[in-house]
Structure 1
Amino acid sequence: MTIKETNKKKGRYYTLARVILFFACTLVVHILSSILTENAPERIVEQLLMLSATILTFFLVLLFTRWEKLKPNDVGIVPGKKSASRFSIGFGAGLLMAITQALIVLSFGHFQLKLVPEITMAEIGLPLLLYVLVGSREELVFRSYSLRSLSYSWTPFLALVIMTTIFSLEHLVSGNTWQNAIIGAGTGGILFGLAALKTKGLALPLGLHIAWNFGQWSLGFKGRPGIWEAIVEKGYESQVENIGLAAFIFVMGLAIAGVCIVYKKEKLL
């Protein structure tokens, strides 16, 4: 192995170490934000927490991007001419995914959606704001500096595998079940990561991410009523859950295939 090859190999591991350090710093930022907002009004405490975490995470991205000797544009955080359209496409696709999953579950019976009576705009707007902030924070953490720097130093495929694994682990540590963390966050991580790599930006994955979470909440698929309440016939909970999981995998698979087809001419690097 030549000196040049040895230095290149060392550089890869330095990048990986910086990405791990970056992720650790984002966790510290999240904890710090939680402490800073713990006395906020209960109705908006989650939104303030995520707002604080998102802003601080953005500055971390800038810091580590400079450390990696990259530019903000290299990690996809600078909006471009196509950003608005890509976000809109992603948002529409994300809502369609959530609706498709619900329709599949409904078609098998023993499950219904009941419109929540007298829901207010504030009761819809606050969850939407929360999912905007959650999506923004997670895209900054997992699909900007970390994913792109690994894709430059290693390969886009390995970068996607590494960041999807970390994405799943964060969801597991946050209290999600193994099933939700590995299958749910795992397939979501592949979709959002692939969208970020193909478009060289965050607009498309951010639109997908926000709309998917908000769509699931709206349809009562987040474990609590949204705009609709999901009602499962007694005795069929396990069956409906399995159908919901299968529908989830189906729509995620379609979305991943869609990104690959629509952006087939775009390279991952």
Structure 2
Amino acid sequence: MKTINRKTQPLFKVALFWGAFWLVLFIFRALSVPFLKEWMSLLVASVIAGLSFILAALLVKKERKSLADIGLGWNAKSVAKFMIGTLCGMLVMAIMLFIILGFSAISIELAPAPDYWNAIGYSALVLFALAAMEEIAFRTYPLFRLSEVFGVRTAIYITSLFFALYHGLSPMNLLGPGVWGLFFAISAIAFKGIAVPLGLHFGLNWLQSFVGMKLQYASSIWSIAPGEDNGLLSTETLGLGLQLFLLVLGVVVIEIYLRKTSKTGQSSL
């Protein structure tokens, strides 16, 4: 009975946390404020990130734990970790773009009359807020609480699955956001906080925004232009191949980390 309670209680709290997150998200996304239209994404993400933080803090306080126990601790190295994560995210996305450009028919062109403030400044604000909202929702209380009960491996895959579902019910989200969720989660566990995954998440999205892949949030500096079908592979095939490669890489990284830490007794599988 104690074992059942030990597992069902955390599951209930994680379900409560996610239920509250999705409910607030649904309510705020349904709001329409015409004079704030251009700022709504930033405002909604910021408010929900703040509310999610408060809820996570209340849950850990009730459990007599600290924010650091769920990856929300802050120290002198947090900014440096975030910057490193951001650079890594931008580098990974740049490599992926160069591969697609080199082996497919698409090209990148300078956008007509780019609005640099919107494309660089505002995009940084809104994409940081969105990344913070999602990292708090999936890589703080749910990830660390589930890892305590079911082990790190199971917690990573559960939170990554729900992260994929959060982006939509399309099976392709499992190979998109779901795969990135593996990297965000293992980096949160390995670095004991969300500074690195937050930077990684932000860096990936920010560079995508520069080439017009986040136009729902901000304008771009460049745009992707389709060309004649004379590439070695189609863009879709290349994209799928890269995501499958990242999936395998993510699983391998997780297993290497778990085996390394299990030998030193630092984590539970």
Tell me, yes or no, whether TM beats 0.5. yes
Among 17, 20, 29, the residue aligned to 2:24:
29
Aligned to 1:182: 174
Distance 1:37 1:74 in 2: 37
Q: Report the counterpart of residue 133 of structure 2 in structure 1.
A: 137
Deviation at residue 268 of structure 1 after TM alignment: 4.5
Q: Distance in 2 between matches of 1:158 and 1:144?
A: 15
> Which TM-score applies when normalising by structure 2?
0.86
Aligned partner letter, 2:118: E
Asked if the contact 1:105/1:247 (under 8 Å) is kept, the reply is no
Identity %: 26
**Counterpart in 2 of 1:110?**
105
* Residue in 2 that maps onto 1:233: 227
Judge which range, 240-249 or 89-98, deviates more.
240-249
Secondary structure of the 1:172 match is coil
Q: Does 2:74 correspond to 1:74?
A: no
Q: Hey, what's the Cα distance between the residues in 2 that align with 1:140 and 1:122?
A: 27
Any idea what the Cα deviations from partners look like across 1:29-63, whole Å, max 9, x if unmatched? Answer: 21333355634422111111111111111111112
Q: Does residue 164 of the first structure (1) align with residue 157 of the second (2)?
A: no
For 1:207, the equivalent position in structure 2 comes to: 199
Q: Does 1:54 align with 2:49?
A: yes
* 2:39 corresponds to 1:44: yes
SS of the residue aligned with 1:141? helix
| Cα distance between partner residues in 1 of 2:138 and 2:156 | 10
Q: Deviations over 1:185-244 (max 9, x none)?
A: 111110000000111101000000001011112123447862210111255799112212
Q: Deviations over 1:93-128 (max 9, x none)?
A: 000011001100111141100011331232212222
Return the alpha-carbon distance in structure 2 between the equivalents of residues 260 and 84 of structure 1. Answer: 28
In the alignment, the residues of structure 2 paired with residue 251 and residue 226 of structure 1 have an alpha-carbon distance, to the nearest angstrom, of: 26
1:246-265 counterparts in 2 under 5 A?
Answer: 246-250=241-245
What letter is aligned with 1:52? Answer: V
> What whole-Å deviation, never above 9, does each CA across 1:110-163 have from its counterpart, x for those lacking one?
110001133123221222211101100011010001110111122111111211
Alpha carbons of 1:255 and 1:248: their partners in 2 closer, same or farther (altered >3 Å)?
A: same
Q: Is the 8 A contact 1:128 1:214 kept in 2?
A: yes
- The separation in 2 between residues aligned to 1:255 and 1:268, in whole angstroms, is 18
On the 8 A contact 1:191/1:256 being kept in 2, the answer is: no
Q: Cα 1:244–1:87, aligned 2, differ >3 Å: closer, same or farther?
A: same
Q: Aligned-pair RMSD on alpha carbons?
A: 2.7
Instruction: Please give the secondary structure, in 1, of the residue aligned with 2:76.
Output: coil
Structure 2 unmatched runs, 5+: none
Give the secondary-structure state (helix, strand or coil) at the position aligned to 1:28: helix
In structure 2, the CA distance between the partners of 1:257 and 1:94, relative to structure 1 (3 Å rule), is: farther
**Comparing 232-241 with 44-53, which one deviates more in the overlay?**
232-241
What is the number of equivalent residue pairs in this alignment? 260
Q: Relative to structure 1, is the Cα distance of residues 160 and 28 closer, same or farther in structure 2, using a 3 angstrom cutoff?
A: same
Measure how far apart 1:251 and its partner are. 5.4
